[in-house]
Amino acid sequence: ACLMPLYLLSAFCAGARSAMTPQAAGTNTDYVIMLAYFVLVVGFGLYFGRYASSTKDFFFGGQRFSWWLIAFSAVATLVGSYSFIKYSEVGYQYGVSSMQSYLNDWFWAPILLLVWLPIIYYQRIQSVPEYFERRFGRAARITATVFIQLYLIGYVGVNLLTLGRAMHPVLGWHEFTGASVACVLVTLYVLAGGQTSVIMTDLAQGVILLVAGLGLFFAGVLHVGGFVDFWSLLPETHRYAFSEFNHPDKFSFIGIYVQDGLANNGAFLLMNQGMMMRFLALRGMKDARKMVTLWLLVLSPLAAIAVSGGGWAAWALNVRGEIDTTAQNAFVAASRFLCSPGVFGFVLAALMAALMSTADTLINAVSAIFVNDMYRPYVAKERDDKHYLLVARISSLCAAGIGLALVPVMAGGTIYAAHAKFTAAVTPPIVVAIVLGVMWRRFNPAAALATMIGGGAVVALSFFKPFDSWLLPYFSFGMGPDSYAFTRAFFGLVCSGAIGVTVALLTRPQPYAKIVGLVNGSQLDAMRVFKGGELNRRGGSVAYANVACDASLGDTERILVPETLLKNMAAGPGDIAYICDRRWWLGGLRSAHVKIGGISQDEKVYVGTAVMAGAHFSENDAVYLDKIC
């Protein structure tokens, strides 16, 4: 099969305005595999949509999922199809150091695990703008809402445009037709199941991404005779884990670090509403720690190899004289040479998986912010949950529609470039505002607004001449104008931080009583608020039993637990626990958070009708109980 059609995707990701006309598309076998993939993904998402019966399920998956499941789905959100093209190109040019962008986010883990996640989890915060209001007031919430919604909606359009352009050479469709079909497919399962469907489909798509990328790399290694022979084909400069400190301008270590490591990864982990919802879908903080460890230390390095390996393989094949390619076309050339008919279709399915798994997360995130930060607080307060669930589904449809409407506009390049500049301007100020907000008690509402608005304005100014040459050289570590695309992020972080710190020092801090549970050092207070009482931090073990329904418990979250199990758990009445189907491979899909209400008279755990239905339990199911606090 000929993979030359994928050149269009690489041309798009490189910013080119034209692309090579494909000589041939895939075979019928490739088309069958792609069609089967689309049918399976949509069917998979629609099936799990039956687990979304409330806004909590629609936006946060019911806060029930296991760590390993969320880790795999997060990888699918992180990796886009452009990643395969982009990092294979860099891998061909610079070798192993192309993995840098996927390996420089680990230092965010302490802030994420020890500060940010406990705050949003125990304070039951549903969005980044909600945190801004509770920490800094309504004006900060409105400002953050506007910035983040524009950021997310623009990215929906970018992803749909990329999907359309990827499908054009393969199926012969116009890019808008391809984007429309992809939009409908993604929206179907997001509309049906929200975050639950997104998580389950992204689990499958994450596995496909890793298998396809790693498979292509190892196929190349085996073809050249094994790892030793492959390594010998790489020049010494291609074997370094990191690029040179400040050379070349477009791929220096410091440039990648300040843009990806500091700004982009900070935004992805702390500001991205889609990832925030993914974290909140976890069943508790213990699972959050496991998930982040697996994701950052195991799956991210594997993803780095998966997206870069095509470029490494292409270099080795080129040295052997088996292919003749450029860096831009490295992934295409390696795939075309190594893949047989059918396998090509699987690689194309992996590219589609990368884009669909990003688009579905963005659509669900836009809907969450609209409902929780715009509609619920300002338009329709105190309505029943079914009403908000309906609005969530309608807003998901609208988000997809607006994103699709942006496709023909962005296709011209002007709005696409403008959106790229806007995201570069808005990301550093909001990241700085979040970090200072959670880490520094003195950081107050005036400082937060000054950071977001002032920092964004200063960064935006750096896009225009002659201001770029006046402002950016001092933050470019001796590099030239080609580095500005990277070092502008560092400039934005420094300026936003300087503005925020200065205003905070010149204005009066908030009383501590108003920010308890919202700032570092008050996590235990947040846990007490979460529980509604004093904490139980005694060590206990997981307890196993069978579940039964007690209609007298009604719609409450109270459960009755045998006394022997309470002793094993070191728990008592009033404690919050997690009850889950004992089958690990369900990943927490059948589970619920409950409050221990009393002691049962036999060896069964009794739950009310609401818990029974929400957790999708059947009478006498085998379950386990785990105390939370």
pLDDT mean over 480-504: 90
pLDDT mean over 220-238: 93
Rg (CA), the chain: 25
pLDDT at 218: 93
pLDDT at 320: 92
pLDDT greater than 60 at residue 549: yes
In a 13 Å sphere around the CA of 515, the CA atoms on its Cβ side amount to 20
pLDDT mean over 161-175: 68
> How far is 175 from 160, CA to CA, in rounded Å?
9
pLDDT at 9: 32
pLDDT greater than 90 at residue 73: no
pLDDT mean over 180-191: 75
pLDDT at 555: 81
pLDDT mean over 132-136: 94
> How far is 402 from 269, CA to CA, in rounded Å?
25
- Predicted confidence (pLDDT) per residue in 269-290, tens digit: 898 888 888 888 888 888 998 9
Higher pLDDT, 571 or 183: 571
pLDDT, mean over the chain: 82
Q: What is the DSSP letter of 244?
A: B
> How far is 86 from 355, CA to CA, in rounded Å?
14
CA distances from 182 to 191, 281, 499 (A): 14, 25, 43
> How far is 607 from 550, CA to CA, in rounded Å?
6
- Label the pairing between strands 605-607 and 543-549: parallel
pLDDT mean over 209-229: 91
pLDDT greater than 80 at residue 522: yes
CA dihedral defined by 378, 382, 384, 389, rounded to 10 degrees? 30
Query: CA angle, corner 245, sides to 434 and 318, nearest 5?
Result: 110
pLDDT mean over 480-484: 84
What domains appear along the chain, each with residue ranges and CATH number? 45-256+285-413 (1.20.1730.10), 536-627 (2.40.40.20)
pLDDT mean over 157-173: 69
pLDDT greater than 70 at residue 338: yes
CA distances from 316 to 191, 306, 477, 541 (A): 45, 16, 33, 53
> How far is 91 from 178, CA to CA, in rounded Å?
29
Judge contact between 224 and 316, C-beta under 8 A.
Answer: yes
Residue 377: asked if its preceding bond is cis (omega within 30°), the reply is no
Q: What is the pTM of this model?
A: 0.84
Task: Identify the band that residue 550 occupies on the pLDDT scale cut at 50, 70 and 90.
Answer: confident
| DSSP H helix total and E strand total for the chain | 28, 6
| Tally of residues, the chain | 629
pLDDT at 586: 85
User: Distance between terminal CA atoms of the chain?
Assistant: 57
If we measure between CA atoms, which residue out of 388, 391, 554 comes closest to residue 54?
388
Partner residues linked to 547 by β-bridges: 605
pLDDT greater than 90 at residue 139: yes
Cβ contacts of 20 within 8 Å, gap of 6 or more = 4, 7, 8, 11
DSSP for 58-88, written as a single string: HHHGGG-B-HHHHHHHHHHHH--HHHHHHHH
Ranking 101-110, 327-336, 408-417 by mean pLDDT, the lowest is 408-417
Ranking 358-372, 435-449, 503-517, 542-556 by mean pLDDT, the lowest is 358-372
DSSP-based three-state secondary structure for 358: helix
pLDDT greater than 70 at residue 10: no
pLDDT greater than 50 at residue 4: no
If we measure between CA atoms, which residue out of 380, 374, 212, 384 comes closest to residue 309?
212
CA distances from 216 to 71, 75, 103, 209, 220 (A): 23, 18, 21, 11, 6
